[in-house]
Amino acid sequence: MNFFEYARVALESLRANRLRSALTMLGVIIGVAAVILLVSLGEGTKKYVEEQFAGLGSNILIVTPGKIETKGGPPVIGAAKHKLTLSDSYVLEKKGYLFGGVAPVVFGTAEVRSGSRSRNVPVLGVTPSFSHVRNLHVEIGSFVSESDVEAKRRVCVLGRTVKRELFGNANALGQMVKVSGGRFRVVGIMQSKGVSLGIDLDDIVFVPVRSAQDLFDTDALLEIILSVRNKNDIDSAKELARSILFKNHNRHEDFTITNQAAMLSSLYTILDTMTYVLGGIATISLLVGGIGIMNIMLVTVKERTNEIGIRKAVGARDRDILLQFLLESTALSSSGGIGGMLIGVLGAWGIRLLVPKLPVEVPSWAIVLAFTFSVFVGIFFGVFPARKAAALHPIEALRYE
C-alpha cells in the first residue's frame, strides 16, 4: 500500500486525458462556483438588510393608528377615535413604567426656505425623547427641548443635507428659515446618518411636535415610537401599551403595535431560507457534476480493463485497484472543487466591484462546505466505477483488448 504512489498514478491518468478530465471537472467547477456565489449573494443580501436596519434597535415598539383586521361591523359613531393623538403619547409616558422613552411623531412635507434657497423636505414634529429613541443626535446646537414643545416654539433642527443646501458652509445656528411660510429659528444641526429604509435621514427638518401640529393643522400623529427599557420585557411592554391605549380609546383597539425586532428576525429567517434554497439548487448542479464523474470513470475503467488485469496478475489486491480508481475520481472532483472555489470567490469579488451597495462576502463555511461536498461527490460517484474495476476477474481483464 503506497498512497502517494496511487495518487501519482491517478494524476498521471488524468493528465493523459487532459481534455476529458477538464470537461469532467467543469461540471464540478460550475457546481462549486454556483454554491459559493449564490450563498455569498444570499449572505450579502442579508447583510445589506441588516445595515439598513442598523440603529433601529431591537427594543423598539411602534404604535400606528388603525387596525389591520377584516372582522367586525361598521364602527359605532363617536366611539372610535381612529387616530393617535398627543393624549395617547402622554398617557403612555405616565403609565408606561416599562418604557424608556415615548416619542410621538407628526409627519408632513413642507417647503423650507432661507433667503433665495428653498427645498421641499419631510418635516417631523418630535419631542426630545425622539433623539435617543431613534438614536439620532445633533452635531451642533441642541435638539428640540421639552420647553420648545410645551411653548410651541418655532424652532427647528436641520438635517445635514438640508443645512448644506440652504446655507452651504455658512453658519446656520440662530438663523431664521421659513417652513411653509412660518419663520423658524435654527437651533441645531443633526449628525450625518445616511439613508435607512429608503429615507434619507439627512434630508429632514425636525420641529417641536406641537409646532408641527399647528403647521400642518392636525392633531393626529404619524406614529408613537416606544423604546423598552429592558429588551426582555418587550412582549409585556407591548401588552402594557396595548391595554393603556385600549382604555384611552374607549375600549377600541383601533391601533397597531409593531415589534421591530420580531419583524426583523422573521425577515432574517426568510433571507436565511433563501440562502439555503439557493445553495441547495446549486448543490444539485454539483450532484450533476458528480454523475459526470461517474460516467467518465466508467469509461476509464472499461478502457483500462487490460491494465487492471496486468496489475492484478502482478499482485495488486482488489482494494489496491479500488483505491487507485477512487483516488482518480476524487482527484477529478477535488481539483474541480478548487477551481470552482477560485471562480466562486473571484465572482463574488467581481459582484462587489460591480454592485458596491451589495456587501457580497463569501462566508468561510460556504467554501469549506462546497469543497468538502465536492470531495465527497468524487468519492460517492467514484465508488461504483472503482468497485467495478476492483471486481474484475484477472483472467477476463487480461483477455480484454
Partner 1 sequence: MESAPATEPLLRLRGVTKIYQPDGQEVTGLEDVNLDIQSGDFLAVMGPSGSGKSTLMNILGCLDIPSSGTYEIKGMPVSRLSPEELARLRNREIGFVFQVFHLLPRYTALRNVELPLLYAGVGREERAQRALSALRAVGLEDRRNHLSNQLSGGQKQKVAIARALVNRPSLLLADEPTGNLDSKSGEELMEILARLNGEGTTIVVVTHDPAIARRAKRVVYIIDGRLVAREEFRELRG
Residues that bind partner 1 (CB under 8 A): 1-2, 5, 12, 16, 306-307, 309-318, 320, 394-395, 398
The CA distance from 207 to 204, in Å, is 10
Cα 151-155-159 angle, rounded to 5 deg = 140
Question: Shortest Cβ distance from residue 380 to partner 1 (Å)?
Answer: 25
Q: Least CB distance from residue 276 to partner 1, whole Å? A: 45
Query: For residues 291 and 395, which CB has a smaller minimum distance to partner 1 in the complex?
Result: 395
What DSSP assignment string belongs to 99-132?
EEEEEEEEEEEEEEEETTEEEEEEEEEE-THHHH
Minimum CB separation of residue 43 from partner 1 in Å reads 46
Is the Cβ of residue 5 or residue 253 nearer to partner 1 in the bound state? 5
Q: What is the closest distance, in whole angstroms, from the C-beta atom of residue 384 to partner 1 in the complex?
A: 20
- Smallest gap from residue 313 Cβ to partner 1 (A): 5
Least distance CB 330 / partner 1 (angstroms) = 20
Q: For residue 227, how many C-alpha atoms fall within 13 Å in the half-sphere facing its CB?
A: 15
Grid coordinates given for 160 = 445635514
Torsion of CA 45, 47, 48, 49, to 10 degrees: 90
Q: Of 87 and 306, which CB lies nearer to partner 1 in the complex structure?
A: 306
Q: What's the chain's Rg over C-alpha atoms?
A: 34
Minimum CB distance to partner 1 smaller for 210 or for 311 = 311
Other C-beta atoms within 10 Å of 81: how many? 18
Nearer to partner 1, 279 or 309 (CB): 309
Give me the least distance between CB of 314 and partner 1, in Å please: 4
C-beta closer to partner 1: residue 160 or 304? 304
Q: Which is nearer to partner 1, 314 or 354 (CB)?
A: 314
Q: Would you state the cell numbers that stand for residue 48, as one nine-digit string?
A: 445589506
Q: Please state the separation of Cα 179 from the chain's center in Å.
A: 37
Instruction: Give the list of residues 6+ apart from residue 333 with CB closer than 8 angstroms, or none.
Output: 25, 28, 289, 290, 293, 374, 375, 377, 378, 379, 381, 382
CB of 94 or CB of 317, closer to partner 1: 317
CA distance 9 to 142: 77
Q: Which is nearer to partner 1, 8 or 117 (CB)?
A: 8
Q: How many CB atoms lie within 10 A of CB 165?
A: 17
Minimum CB separation of residue 34 from partner 1 in Å reads 35
Shortest distance in whole angstroms from residue 308 CB to partner 1? 11
117 φ, ψ (degrees, to nearest 5): -90, 135
| Residue 286, Cβ density class (10 Å: 0-12 exposed, 13-18 middle, ≥19 buried) | buried
